Amino acid sequence: MKPVVELKRISKNFGAFSALRGIDFDVYPGEIHALLGDNGAGKSTLIKILAGVHRQTEGQILVRGKPMKFRSPRDAADVGIGTVYQDLALAPLMTVARNFFMGRELIKGPELLGMLDDRRMARVALEEMAKIGIELSDAKQPVGTLSGGQRQSLAIARAIYFGANVLILDEPTSALGQKQQLEVLKSILRVRARGDIAIIFITHNEIHAQLTADRYTFLSLGEVIGSGSKVDLNPGEIRRLMAGGAEVADLDAELSAIVAQHSVQDAKSQAHKRTSEATNG
Amino acid sequence: MSFWRTALARPETSVVIGTILVVLFFTISTGGAWLSTLPSVFRVTAQVGLIAIGQAFLMSSGEIDLSVGSTFAVAGLVAIWAMDILTLGVAPAFLVALAASSLIGLVMGVFTVYFKVPSMIVTLGALFVLRGIAYISTQGFSLSIPREFRKDPLVLLAKAKTFDLNNTFIVLLVATVILAIVLSRTRFGSHVLAVGGDASAALANGISPAATKIKAFMVCSAFAGLSGILVLFQEGSVYSTSGIKLELEAIAAAVIGGCTLRGGSGSIWGPVLGVFVLSSLKGGLMMLGAPTSWYIGLVGALLIGFLIVSQVISASTQPTA
C-alpha cells in the first residue's frame, strides 16, 4: 500500500527564522498518525503547509504519489485534504444542519432562487454524525447547545462528508472536559475503522496519542526528533520525546528541587507568621 | 412543553407579547375608539416598517446602517431629479431612485468591508453626507414631483387604498414575507446569518463575508430608498428634513423585534411588529390625553424594557450559549 500523503524534506522559513527543517512525514489510509510536540515545535506550521495555508520553502508534497503545489486551502481541499481546526469553523447560533452544510447548502427548485432543502440537510447531517457515534435527535438545535465533543464530531463528520480522505485534526481534545475528550477519541477511532481515511492527529497529550495512534512522529524546534509505530516505542520513550527529547529523569530532578525549595520557604514563612502573631497578640 | 420551549426561544416572543399588550391597553382604555385610528397607524408603520426590515436584514449580518433616514430623503430627491431633469417617466424614475439607493449601500459596504472601518462610523458619516446633499438640493426647503407626473397611475396607486388599507402597507406586508423567506429559507439568507454569527467560520467554509455583507448593505439601503420613494408618491414632496431620526426608530424597532447588534440571528416580521408598537404609542397616547412630547422618552424606556425582557426569556430557555 502506498501512503496517501507524503512529505519529503519539508522546510519552512519565516524570514531568518526557520520553523521547519527537513521534515519527512507520511500517512496511509486507515491509520492514525499522531503528530506530537510541545508548543512551538512546528506542528501548526507543518499542518498549515499540508492544508495549503502556507507554502513550503523547500521540499515536496506528494499526494497519492503525485507531486503537488498548493496555492490555497482550496487546492488542498480539492485533493481530499480536510482540516478540522481548533476553532472548528462553526457558527453557534445556527442549527446543526445549517452548520453542517455551511457554504455548501443543498438547494431545491430553481438554482437561482436558492431555496434551501432544510429537510434533506437535516437528515444527512444526523446520519453522518450517527456514523461516527454522535446520536442527535434534532438537527434544528443551535450548535451552541451541543457539547464541545459533539461540536468536534460535527466538524469531523462534515469534513468527511465533503470528501476528505486525509483528515487533519488540530488538537481536537484540548479545551475539552475528560468525558468529552473520550467522546472525541471514540469518534476518531470510528473514522479509522472505515479504513479509507488517513488521519493526522495533532496533540500534545501523549495519553490520547497512545489510546488511538498507529504511528507517532515527534517534532521539536522544527525537526523530527523521533518517530515509529506503536510497537517500536514504549511509553517511557514516548514521554521522553514529548518533552522535546529531554530525559524525564532530569525533569523529575528539576521539579523535585523546586518543590523542595518551596516547602522550605513555606516552612519559613509559616514560622515567621507564627512569631509575628505571637508578638502582636 | 416542547412547543412552549420553541415559542419562548424565538427572538420575536417579547414583541408578540408587547403587541398584544399595547392593543389590549389602548383598546380598553379608549373604549374601543383607538381601533378607528388603526389605518393611520398602519400608514406610519408602512413607512418606518420598510426601513426596519432592511435594517433587520443588515443587522443579521452583524452590521448596522445609521444612514437610512438620509437615504430615505435622497431616494425621493433622486426620483424627482430623474423626472424633472432626465425627464423620465415615473416608473423609470422609481427604478433609478431604487438603483441609486442600492449604490449608496454598495459604497458603504465596500468602505466597511475593505477599509475595515466599523459600519457604525461609515454609515454615521454617510448620514451626514447624504443629509448634506438633501440640504443642498432642496436649498433647505423642499422639492416636489413635477406637475405633469402628479396624476401618474403609479403615483396614484401609492396613494390609494385597498380594502381600507394603504397600498404602501400592503407593499410592506408583501416585502416582509419575501424578505423573511430570503433570510430564513434561502442560501443567501443562510450566508448572511453565518457571516453575522461567525465571519471567520463562514470564510473557512467558503462563504465570502465581504460579498455577503456588501449585498446586505445594498438590501438595507434599497428598502430605505423604497420607503422614501413611496412616501414621496404619497405626499408629493421631499423636505430637507425628511427622514430625520427615522434611523433611530427603525433600529429601535429592529431591536424590539428580536434583532441584535451582534448579528447571527434576526427576525424580519418581529421588527414590523416593533414598528407597529412604536407607531401605536404616538396616536394612543394622544387619545389618552397625554402630551405627545412624552412619546420619545417612552420609546427609549420601551426599548430598554424589551431588551431586558428578551434577555430574561433567552436566559431561561438556553442552558448553554
A162 to chain B, minimum CA–CA distance in Å? 11
Total residues belonging to chain A: 281
Q: pLDDT value at position B126? A: 94
Question: CB neighbours (10 Å) of residue A102?
Answer: 25
- Hey, of A93, A105, A147, which one would you mutate to test binding to chain B, going by the most B CBs within 10 A of its CB? A93
DSSP state of B319: S
Among candidates B143, B128, B75, which has minimal Cα distance to B103?
B75
Q: pLDDT value at position B6? A: 64
Q: pLDDT value at position B321? A: 39
Query: Across residues B271-290, what is the average pLDDT?
Result: 86
DSSP state of B63: -
* Cα–Cα dist B122/A26, whole Å: 50
CB B213 within 8 A of CB B286: no
Q: Which long-range contacts (CB under 8 A, 24 or more apart) does B94-97 make?
A: B94/B154, B94/B229, B97/B225, B97/B228, B97/B229
Given a cut of 50, is residue A156 above it in pLDDT? yes
Chain B residues near residue A121 by CB distance under 8 angstroms:
none
Bridge partners for B142 per DSSP: B239
Q: What is the pLDDT of residues B213-269, one digit of tens each?
A: 999 999 999 999 999 999 999 988 899 899 898 998 899 999 988 888 888 888 999
Query: Across residues B44-68, what is the average pLDDT?
Result: 94
**Residue A227, C-beta contacts closer than 8 angstroms, at least 6 positions apart:** A215, A216, A217, A218
Bridge partners for A129 per DSSP: none
Chain B residues near residue A162 by CB distance under 8 angstroms:
none
| Predicted ipTM of the assembly | 0.83
Which cell numbers hold the place of B315?
436566559
A72 to chain B, minimum CA–CA distance in Å? 12
Q: pLDDT value at position A280? A: 59
Given a cut of 60, is residue A76 above it in pLDDT? yes
Least confident of B9-13, B84-88, B91-95: B9-13
User: Of A133-147, B38-52, B143-157, which one has max mean pLDDT?
Assistant: B38-52
**Partner residue opposite B187 with nearest CB, options A89, A90, A114:** A114
Average pLDDT along chain A:
85
Q: Which CATH architecture has domain B34-317?
A: Orthogonal Bundle (1.10)
CB B213 within 8 A of CB B111: no
B191 to chain A, minimum CA–CA distance in Å? 7
Query: Across residues A95-99, what is the average pLDDT?
Result: 92
Q: pLDDT value at position B62? A: 92
* Cα–Cα dist B175/B46, whole Å: 10
- Hey, of B2, B60, B187, which one would you mutate to test binding to chain A, going by the most A CBs within 10 A of its CB? B187
With CA atoms as reference, the chain B residue closest to A144 would be B321
Question: CB neighbours (10 Å) of residue B282?
Answer: 18
**Residue B317, C-beta contacts closer than 8 angstroms, at least 6 positions apart:** B5, B8, B9
Which residue has better confidence, B185 or B321? B185
CB A103 to CB B200 under 8 A?
no
Average pLDDT along chain B:
88
- Hey, of A72, A74, A94, A96, which one would you mutate to test binding to chain B, going by the most B CBs within 10 A of its CB? A94
Q: What is the pLDDT of residues B290-308, one digit of tens each?
A: 787 888 888 888 888 888 8
**Partner residue opposite A102 with nearest CB, options B185, B186, B194:** B194
Among candidates B273, B274, B292, which has minimal Cα distance to B282?
B292
CB A195 within 8 A of CB A165: no
At residue B122, φ and ψ (nearest 5 deg) are: -55, -45
Cα distances from B165 to residues B168, B225, B232, in angstroms, run 8, 22, 18
- In total, the C-beta contacts within 8 angstroms joining chain A to chain B are 69
pTM for the whole structure:
0.83
Given a cut of 50, is residue A281 above it in pLDDT? no
Chain B residues near residue A145 by CB distance under 8 angstroms:
318-320
**Residue A6, C-beta contacts closer than 8 angstroms, at least 6 positions apart:** A25, A26, A61, A62, A63, A65
Question: CB neighbours (10 Å) of residue B250?
Answer: 33
B71 to chain A, minimum CA–CA distance in Å? 28
Chain B residues near residue A118 by CB distance under 8 angstroms:
185
Which cell numbers hold the place of A2?
502506498
Q: What is the pLDDT of residues A211-265, one digit of tens each?
A: 888 898 988 888 888 887 877 777 777 777 777 666 556 767 777 888 887 777 7
Which cell numbers hold the place of A188?
476518531
Query: B320 falls in which pLDDT band (50, 70, 90)?
Result: very low
Interface of A with B (CB under 8 A): 74, 85, 87-94, 98, 102-105, 107, 113-116, 118, 144-145
Given a cut of 90, is residue B85 above it in pLDDT? no
Question: CB neighbours (10 Å) of residue A119?
Answer: 12
Chain A residues near residue B194 by CB distance under 8 angstroms:
91, 94, 98, 102-103
CB B190 to CB A98 under 8 A?
yes
- Residue B312's SS3 state is helix
Question: CB neighbours (10 Å) of residue A43?
Answer: 22
Q: pLDDT value at position B60? A: 94
Bridge partners for B166 per DSSP: B161
Among candidates B257, B206, B246, which has minimal Cα distance to B11?
B257
Q: Domain boundaries in chain B?
A: 34-317
Question: CB neighbours (10 Å) of residue B148?
Answer: 11
Task: Find cell 480536510 and name the residue.
Answer: A82
Q: Is the dihedral of CA B189, B194, B200, B202 positive or negative?
A: negative
CB B190 to CB A105 under 8 A?
yes
